[in-house]
Structure 1
Amino acid sequence: MSEATTGTATWRDDFSRVLSPVFGTPQLDIVRGRGSYVWDADGKQYLDLLAGIAVNALGHCHPAWVKAVSEQAATLGHISNFFTSPPQIALAEKIHEILDLPEGSAVFLSNSGAEANEAALKMARRAGGGGRPIIIAVDGAFHGRTMGALSLTAKAAYREPFAPGVPGVVHVPYGDVDALAAAINDTTAAVFIEPIQGEVGVRTHPAGYLRAARELTSAAGALLILDEVQSGIGRTGTWFAHQDPAIGEGVVPDIITSAKGLGGGMPIGATITVGTENTGLLSAGQHGTTFGGNPIACAAALAVLTTIETEGLLDRAGRLGEQLRTELAGVPGVAGVTGQGLLLGVELAGDSPDAKAVAARALEAGFIVNPVTPERLRLAPPLTITHEEIAPFLTALPDLLTHD
């Protein structure tokens, strides 16, 4: 066994010696997880209120997930995209079911949210028969870091070192229907929108915005593409955030992208086309991925969806999320709480809030949270978490916020 488990200095040195620096130095060397908790190399326990950035929907090592992955790994691992497998078909059927997709809809399986958005971007290039150069994204958006997805991502610090990126991408101001309307015309291929923007502190759109986006894109013959990579798979109390009438306003998109919680810890992404016309945007040979639809990843995802259903986790996420919103809003030092279900943003009060420092103190106290902006913490715990497990964090939070 490596010396990486013998002490903090050793594993940090080992990491720096052999791994890429793109993520910076990790905060912890995590060696084990169970339910809502993880343990580091020194044996310290942490309550995981981030769940791998909304990935571990069932928490760590859920028995149903472990069983599905183990049995599939012992049966059939990888077969390439020349073939299909029972888990792949069963997963696609389940996705059709939970979205109540119309006939002619289809699921393209890949390996991540960025890949799901890359597929959607290629579909957008085919919209309206092709030849439409403009693709619109919204300020504050995060769609991934591969070159196409990066071009749709709003943060300049992410995009500018790799400019010029994909041509024709236009970013419109957040929440401004007039600006969106002015940007959409017969040269527009698609509009990409996250129903809840995670990377700017968990932000929903103003009332009427998604409905206006649907009306404007339909009138222009452009696609409406909803990125549900972070907000989907039960996180908001519905299978996908746009299915909540308060968020989605009854909108039916042309394409939906999913990942993160879908695999519950296994890499998988999905690009879901709604209806025959949208499914026909890409034909055989125009896109592909070697590992997409891998039997093990599909078995894991199917276990996630089935368990969410059988354990009533949609309703639980909605009810617990509403309770947490109320309790968090009452904590001294909290200026507000945004989001829905178990995807929440905690806005810090004060003239110079420092979410990074608060998150560091929380980690020292045994709580994993995410300082997503200088003013906000992001919480995205497992859908299986209980209020009893969260209670110690709520008790500790006032001191974490006011500590000098």
Structure 2
Amino acid sequence: MAFVSAIARTTRRLLLPATPARLRLWTGLVSCAAVALLAASGLLTARVQEQVRVIGGAAAPQAATAADLYFALSDLDAQVARMVLAGDAAELSGSQLDALGAYQQRGREADEDLQRSLTTATSDADRALVLELTHELTGYRRWVWQTLTAQAQAQAPPQPPGRLPPDALGYYTQATNVLHLRLLPAAGRLRDAGETRLDRAYAAKRATVAWAVGLTVLSGGALVLLLVFLQGWLARRFRRVLNPALALATVLALGLTAGVCLVLVAQEQRLGAARDDSLRPYLALSQARALSYDAAADTSRYLLSGNLALYRQDFTGKSERVAAVLDGSGAALERWRGYERAHQRVVALAGAGRTGAAVDLVTGIRRGDAAFDFSYYDAAVGADAGARKAGFDAALRDGERVLAGWPLVPLPVVGVVLLLVALGVRKRLAEYR
């Protein structure tokens, strides 16, 4: 019987430990929950902050640079078409000089975009693609130079505007083939890679936010429940209605949990809205703008090719794609429709054998001329794209400000909670010394 009684007493001590042991046990559990809350809220919030920096400092700029490169290359060939279309006609010298200046500007922009893309490339495939683009752009420029040289050195009789000497036409055909068969497809792959990288960066941040919120709620909820239970147990065991230190620790734990979750959810909503309402429309507008420049070049190519139906069909397909992107953007779409009507007048004049009048309409800068209508359209779509880009940049800065300091906030708060817990149980433990 004595042996059974000893076992019973030992079992009771293990299952129902004395008050000091219980108090130390619950204090340890509370401390573990507090440390878990610190890890979940502090470390994961810091990770989210770093991912926001990656989106704003790398992924989004890379996607924008690739989109700008595609646009610069599209306009590059459009300006070449304007230059060769004007030829050496004295009355079109102003248009040719304007096209030459725009060609040089787009060339500089393309070079800068390629350099930035090479610097920020994150894979060997992207670097190889940028080097391929650089090589092909050099070849394209060589064909353009040969086109202009052959046109300038052509023997009599002089060619009227809209007609190229055979050698110059051959060189120009090679140039535009290089652009459409090599440069633009490679630039499109670089742009797609940039957008894919941006989507992955957003997805990674979204996953981290989900983990951060879930673990913060789990650890913070556990800490609050343990603190509430500890206070209830102390109230029953020591007949104390309220433990101020533990009550304050509970409030701090609850506030930290709620604050971290609200901050993470707020920045996720802001950056998600910025991507959907600003960044994606900006990238789409950049693509539509590049496509519209290429379509406008088809108007010139149609004349240079002697009314080749291929370019008229290409213009129609590209125009429909531009209009689809601009649907909902009233001013830009209306102005693009205006340029479409100018294009149709050019085609009609060329079909009637009035090539000179068609060239004047393409290169003229008076209201109603194709060049004027296109500039009028481009101002609208450029302003819309710029506003979208500025909206994304502002939202990104707001998201960074929302997170500022929060990775460090949990450390002092959890430290105070642990201190308050120690203060709350110290006097109770002292009663058993």
TM-score by length of 2: 0.18
Q: Which has the higher contact order (CA 8 A, sep 6+)?
A: 2
- Which protein has the bigger strand share? 1
- Which protein has the bigger helix share? 2
TM-score by length of 1: 0.19
